[in-house]
Amino acid sequence: MKTIQDVAKELGVSTSTVSRAISGKGRIGKETRERVLKYIEENGYYPNAAAQSLAQSKTNNIAIILPEVDTLVEMPFFHTCMYAVEEMAQANDYDILVVITSGKDPRPLERLILNRKVDGMILTRTYENDCFVPLLLEKKIPFVTIGQTEKEGVVQIDSDNAGACMELTSVLLSKRIGRIAYLGGSMEQMVNKCRYKGYLEAYRQFGKEPESGLIYMNLVNKVLIGKAVEELVKKKADCMLCQDDFICDEVLHILAAENIKVPEDMRVASCHYSRILDNYPIMITSLKFDIMQLGRTACKILLDMIDGKEVPEKTLLDYEVILKESTK
């Protein structure tokens, strides 16, 4: 007797497609459904009651959890990531529900679970004291995180932020740029903790200690960034290493307004490249991550989890160090 996996393999489709053809629910083309049903009729397939019940209860929806609107406008990362998730979901006959949250209120996720709106979730940002991860673990709903978490048993996909920032800082140190200032965002976010860890590790490997007076953390708005830049100029830092593209963009604006030339008067680098850094007459040294691949991988792993397949608990994607004129 054929299994659902046998049918899917023979027809070159996913097991979820076979399930939709059998149950008559979810998005599936007429020709595909007829081809599946014809194969079953000719070759024999009888799902067990438990598996059929599970298939029929599927929504063929997944949720992508995004941070607050202000961040979405400021950081193209989330737009790109959402597009990649949607692309992979649609290729597998799934739809996505977009949930925008502050990261501190689990009620939107609780409603999705209570009303059985989705088969799984993707968290696009992780926090040191994360309120979403414990909830999803407790409810036993399939989910993955884009970003690392210290919780055990969580399937997580991320770029190698710590390794990337360590390599970029090491390159700058090897260029005899000794006094590298670090401008960081909220340390509640795991991505920022990883990048800062890489910065410190680079100094450690060089047998040095970064100057504590050149490290500015929790720069969560333009006023705080402006104050940090003003002080670092006075302290005559050799380079401003920005934790992300939002901070770097604001730093470049401020330096231009003060007629401080890059790199003649101040070197600048970013721990994350995005297109907003292309708006300047000088190219910016940065780290490039494949966000499309990040989103696609997260979605594919989640869909595999929903289908009951074994998946790796931790996946780290590679990066590229882009050396440009801003750190010459």
Predicted confidence (pLDDT) per residue in 122-136, tens digit: 999 999 999 999 999
Largest Cα separation within the chain, whole Å, is 80
Closest listed residue to residue 111, CA positions, set 58, 55, 60, 65: 65
Q: Are 208 and 173 in contact (CB under 8 A)?
A: yes
- Better-scored residue on pLDDT, 105 or 192: 192
Average pLDDT of the chain is 90
Strand partners, 144: 122, 155
Distance separating alpha carbons of residues 130 and 7, to the nearest angstrom: 41
**In one letter, which amino acid is 209?**
E
Amino acid 71: pLDDT? 56
Distance separating alpha carbons of residues 131 and 115, to the nearest angstrom: 20
Distances (CA, A) of 105 to 99, 102, 113: 12, 7, 14
DSSP label of 153: T
User: Which two tokens mark 294?
Assistant: 């990040």
pLDDT interval class at 228 (50, 70, 90) = very high
Q: Which fold has domain 4-57?
A: 434 Repressor (Amino-terminal Domain) (1.10.260)
The mean pLDDT of 240-250, rounded to a whole number, is: 95
Q: Are 244 and 270 in contact (CB under 8 A)?
A: yes
Amino acid 44: pLDDT? 64
Least confident of 22-26, 70-74, 242-246, 322-326: 70-74
Amino acid 47: pLDDT? 54
Question: pLDDT tens-digit profile of 273-309?
Answer: 999 999 899 999 999 999 999 999 999 999 999 999 9
Please check the confidence at residue 14 and state whether its pLDDT lies above 90: no
Amino acid 222: pLDDT? 94
Amino acid 17: pLDDT? 86
Amino acid 259: pLDDT? 96
Please check the confidence at residue 1 and state whether its pLDDT lies above 70: no
pLDDT interval class at 171 (50, 70, 90) = very high
For 61-159+291-318, CATH gives 3.40.50.2300
Least confident of 42-56, 86-100, 107-121, 206-220: 42-56
Amino acid 320: pLDDT? 98
CATH entry 3.30.530.20 includes domain 161-288+322-327:
no
Amino acid 4: pLDDT? 76
Amino acid 49: pLDDT? 43
Amino acid 87: pLDDT? 96
Question: pLDDT tens-digit profile of 50-103?
Answer: 444 445 578 899 999 998 866 554 678 999 999 999 999 999 999 999 999 988
Number of H helices, E strands in the chain: 13, 12
- CATH 3.40.50.2300 intervals, the chain: 61-159+291-318, 161-288+322-327
Range among 1-15, 51-65, 75-89, 310-324 with highest mean pLDDT value = 310-324
Q: What percentage of the chain reaches a pLDDT higher than 90?
A: 73
Give the H or E element holding residue 319.
Answer: strand 319-322
- Sequence-separated (6 or more) residues with CB below 8 Å from residue 285: 168, 267, 268, 269, 270, 322, 323, 324, 325, 326, 327
User: Which two tokens mark 169?
Assistant: 């800082």
Neighbours of 297 (CB within 10 A): 20
Distances (CA, A) of 54 to 14, 23, 47, 156, 231: 16, 10, 11, 25, 60
Amino acid 133: pLDDT? 96
Closest listed residue to residue 68, CA positions, set 42, 103, 109: 103
Is the backbone peptide bond immediately before 106 cis, with ω within 30 degrees of 0?
no
Distance separating alpha carbons of residues 61 and 116, to the nearest angstrom: 10
Q: Are 164 and 129 in contact (CB under 8 A)?
A: no
The mean pLDDT of 211-217, rounded to a whole number, is: 97
Least confident of 90-99, 101-110, 157-166, 220-229: 101-110
Amino acid 50: pLDDT? 42
- CATH 1.10.260.40 intervals, the chain: 4-57
SS3 content of the chain, % helix, strand, coil (to 5): 50, 15, 35
- SS3 state at 325: helix
Question: pLDDT tens-digit profile of 193-202?
Answer: 999 999 999 9
